[in-house]
Amino acid sequence: MILAAAAVFFVMRYALSKIESHTAPVSPVAKYEPVECSASMLSTTVDRIGSQAGQPVQFTTTLTNTGERPCFFDAADLRLHITSGDQIIYDTTTCQAGIGSKTLLLDTELTTSQPLQWNGMNTGAGCSARSVAQPGTYVARVFLGGDELLDTGIVFDLGSSPQPSEPTEPEPTDDAIDGEPADGDTAESDENTDAPPADEGVQAPTEVQSGEPEAEDTEG
């Protein structure tokens, strides 16, 4: 009898819990409550501008939330890490040169682009050195907190800055004599054009003699 009563009690309790679960509305806050972004939730691409040694290099990091829930992160947690071989060249976190603190909320499929810049200096692991980075091959990596956002680093080359060319003096032309322009010859010819040209084929008039000889004076 006691066992039968206990069985009925548990059956009734289970039935009531199922009824409550079907009638209680789903909280929209719980459904759309954002969570902290992780590397697995974000699709990341990085574009680079700049290829000369000693000049700033700009990296634009584009992040898209591919997860099922909205997520948020602090932009200050984005970190740019530059290496060359096994040498650390630059780190925005160590040098405190990253993005200022601001919380970004990404809904599903929403995208944001954030700038990260390398100043072109070799600051070392502790951001204590201040030498100009030399031409060569470098690798850039982007992190969100301690999670790397790209499967592989971005390999890029820096070339030498172009040297300014020395100014050259213009060479004198054949028409110029003693540094004077060839217009002097044309000026002289222009002066001669002021006189009217002589008519060709017209002869000067000649004295015409009469057909009768001139009479001579005779005496007596």
Q: What is the pLDDT of residues 84-119, one digit of tens each?
A: 999 999 999 888 877 888 999 999 999 999 999 999
Task: Look over the chain and give the mean of its residue pLDDT values, rounded to a whole number.
Answer: 77
Reference 78, options 114, 106, 53; nearest CA is 114
pLDDT (0 to 100) of residue 125: 86
Burial 47-86 (b: 16+ CB within 10 A, else e): eeeeeebbeebebebebbbebeebbebbbebbbbbbebee
129 or 148, greater pLDDT: 148
Q: pTM surpassing 0.85?
A: no
Whether 78 has a pLDDT exceeding 90, the answer reads yes
Mean pLDDT of 51-64: 95
Whether 195 has a pLDDT exceeding 90, the answer reads no
Mean pLDDT of 157-163: 83
The band of 2, judged by pLDDT with boundaries at 50, 70 and 90, is low
Residue type present at position 220? G
| Percentage of the chain lying above the pLDDT 90 cut | 50
pLDDT in tens, 119-134: 999 999 888 888 999 9
Tokens coding 22: 């079907």
Whether 174 has a pLDDT exceeding 70, the answer reads no
